[in-house]
Amino acid sequence: MPVDDRTLAALRAAPLFRRLDGGQLARLAGIAQPRRIAAEETLFLQGDPADAFYLLAEGRIKVFKLLRDGRSATIRHVEAGQTFAEAALFHEAFASSTETLSDCLVYRFEKDVMLGLLLTEPQLAVNLLAAMAHLLGLLNRRVEELLLPVPARLARYLLARADEQLDPVAGGDVPRVIRLPIRKRELAARLGTVPETLSRTFDRFKRAQVIRMSNDHRLIEILSFEKLHRLAQQ
């Protein structure tokens, strides 16, 4: 059966599958199961049997854990080109849940088939170890962030978004407008707080002339990077 060019392109874009040659990518494409999912749907829930892992080709997905008190804690936001749920290959149940934040195209890799492929493709196994190490580092940083006060968490988040949207021409403590990629409710979950606390923190930043916000709260103008850095270190 011929390999779909679109599937091959999606695989090549994923860090997990870098350094694989054409033949290896073709074998991987042969077991990839494409699936389109509408926004605000779930792929799997925490505790479901771990039977596959995924590559996100289009859209955005939230990975989160359900806490005992009924709240949820966002672990990461998966962007196009990233894999997720790799740990499913080594566990019986999914340790987290997912929610699509937009219409998505994912590729599903069945656990048993993928484990068989790993036995014959050592480069893929090495890449998977690197992906797991990256995820462990991400989780460690998330734990460290949750020990900080909410203003520090928000300041660090805004600085990270500013770095992503950096204008190499601008420099110093100059205003910069950034676009929030998620809604306030999702941002609150990402920061490990509730929307009401996040709103109060935004108000505090505005009163201190650290930021200005658009009416829909999706555009934020950073007025003082110096103040924002100080808040991030609290």
Domains of the chain: 5-146 (2.60.120.10), 150-232 (1.10.10.10)
pLDDT score of 171 more than 60:
no
pLDDT category, 105, cuts 50, 70, 90?
A: very high
Mean residue pLDDT across the chain = 85
Residue 207 pLDDT class (50, 70, 90 cuts): very high
Instruction: Show the tokens assigned to 195.
Output: 């929307």
pLDDT range class, residue 133, cuts 50, 70, 90: confident
Q: Say what the pTM is.
A: 0.68
145/224: higher pLDDT: 224
63 close to 84: Cβ distance less than 8 angstroms: yes
pLDDT of residue 178: 86
111 three-state secondary structure: helix
Average pLDDT over every residue of 205-229: 89
pLDDT band at 166 (very low <50, low <70, confident <90, very high): low
Mean pLDDT of 200-212: 92
Cα separations in angstroms, 192 against 10, 43, 150, 195, 205: 32, 22, 8, 10, 18
Task: Please give the average per-residue pLDDT across 159-172, as a whole number.
Answer: 66
Phi/psi for 88 (5° steps) reads -60, -25
Q: Which pLDDT score, from 0 to 100, does residue 179 have? A: 85
169-189: average pLDDT: 72
Q: Which of the pair, 99 or 75, is modelled with greater confidence?
A: 99
Give the contacts of 99 (CB within 8 A, at least 6 positions apart): 40, 41, 42, 61, 62, 64
pLDDT at 151 over 80: yes
pLDDT score for 175:
53
pLDDT of 25 over the 70 cut? yes
Between these two residues, 37 and 125, which has the higher pLDDT value?
37
d(CA 219, CA 187): 14
Residue 209, φ and ψ in degrees, nearest 5: 60, 40
Three-class secondary structure of residue 1 per DSSP:
coil
Stated as kind and residue range, the H or E segment containing 223 is: none
Whole-angstrom distance, CA of residue 50 vs CA of residue 73? 20
